[in-house]
Amino acid sequence: MKLLVKCISFFTLFAALIPCSAQTVGVQKYDDPAQQVAWIAYGTGLATYVQKHISSVTLPAGRWEPTFEAEVTAREYQVTVWKELLQKEKFNYPFMSQMLDVSNAGYMKEYVWTYYKKPSWIQPAELKLPEFTTWSEQHLQSHKPETGAQIVIQAK
């Protein structure tokens, strides 16, 4: 449990220190520490994407809708952090177990497209949607997509 508290503190601090004063990472509060860590990691992934690829100064104020690339990047980052945590702690969060399966199977882009697609996104040509559909019918039967963090752009 000490590791978990340190991890939450680290990610909260990291997200707060991202050098982009025009954005805030909003993470839902969870009673389950495993869920909290997972969504802090996702929020950190989104914030890092904005910092590296988008000038938040040019974005309109309010909740930022991630691009396809940002969503894939944040979810892959979330899985990477989750894998690292599982080496040190015994966490049980069925959603993240399924996300590990998706990532390990190489279907994160297809997963994001299928479950989180926004009207503004343009479908990448390389998506293996028929293969993902077949795979997901076996591995994601009771899956419910979740998003527990967001980026909010502050008014200028």
pLDDT tens across 91-135, in order?
Answer: 999 999 999 999 999 999 999 999 999 999 999 999 999 999 999
Cα angle: 26, vertex 27, 30; to 5 degrees: 155
The predicted pLDDT at position 35 comes to 95
**DSSP letter string over 112-137?**
HHHHH--TTPPPPTT--HHHHHHHHH
Beta strands in the chain (DSSP E): 23-27, 62-64, 149-153
Q: Would you list the domain boundaries of the chain?
A: 2-153
Record the tokens describing residue 110, joined without a space. Answer: 């297809």
The predicted pLDDT at position 24 comes to 87
Give the separation between CA 79 and CA 88, rounded to whole angstroms.
15
- 123 or 155: which leads in pLDDT: 123
Q: How many residues does the chain have?
A: 156
The predicted pLDDT at position 80 comes to 97
List b or e across 37-46, with b for residues whose CB sees 16 or more CB atoms inside 10 angstroms: bbbbbbbbbb
- Minimum mean pLDDT among 26-30, 36-40, 50-54, 146-150: which range? 50-54
User: Exposed, middle or buried: residue 26 (CB in 10 Å: 0-12, 13-18, 19+)?
Assistant: middle
Q: Which SS3 state, helix, strand or coil, does residue 27 take?
A: strand
Residue type, position 101, single letter = D
Model pTM score:
0.84
